[in-house]
Amino acid sequence: MLSDLVADFQKLRNPQKAKILSRFFKTGKGEYGEGDIFLGITVPQTRAIAKKYTHLNLKDLEKLLSSKIHEYRLIALLILIENYKKASIENKNLIFNFYIKNTKFINNWDLVDLSAPHIVGNFLLDKDKSILYNLAKSSNLWEKRIAIISTYAFIRLYKFKHTLKISEILMNDNHDLIHKAVGWMLREVGKRNKDVEEKFLNQHYKKMPRTMLRYAIEKFDNNKRKKYLERN
Q: Give me the pLDDT at residue 140, please.
A: 95
Q: How many CB atoms lie within 10 A of CB 156?
A: 14
To which H or E segment does residue 5 belong? helix 2-11
Q: Give me the pLDDT at residue 1, please.
A: 82
Distance CA 213, CA 195 (A): 16
Q: Give me the pLDDT at residue 163, please.
A: 98
As averages over each run of 10 residues, the pLDDT of the chain (232 residues) reads 88 90 83 86 91 93 94 95 94 96 94 97 96 96 97 97 97 94 97 95 93 93 89 68
* pLDDT tens readout for residues 53-75: 999 999 999 999 999 999 999 99
Q: Give me the pLDDT at residue 80, please.
A: 96
DSSP secondary structure, 26-72, as one string: T-STTSTTTT-B-----HHHHHHHHHH-TT--HHHHHHHHTSSBHHH
Confidence (pTM): 0.92
Q: Give me the pLDDT at residue 33, please.
A: 80
Q: Give me the pLDDT at residue 22, please.
A: 87
Average pLDDT for the chain: 93
Give me the domains of the chain, ranges plus CATH numbers: 1-86 (1.25.10.90), 105-232 (1.25.10.90)
Q: Give me the pLDDT at residue 26, please.
A: 83
Identify any residues that bridge with 69 across adjacent strands, giving them in sequence order: 37
Strands (E) in the chain, as ranges, are none
Q: Give Rg (Cα) of the chain.
A: 19
Q: Give me the pLDDT at residue 232, please.
A: 63
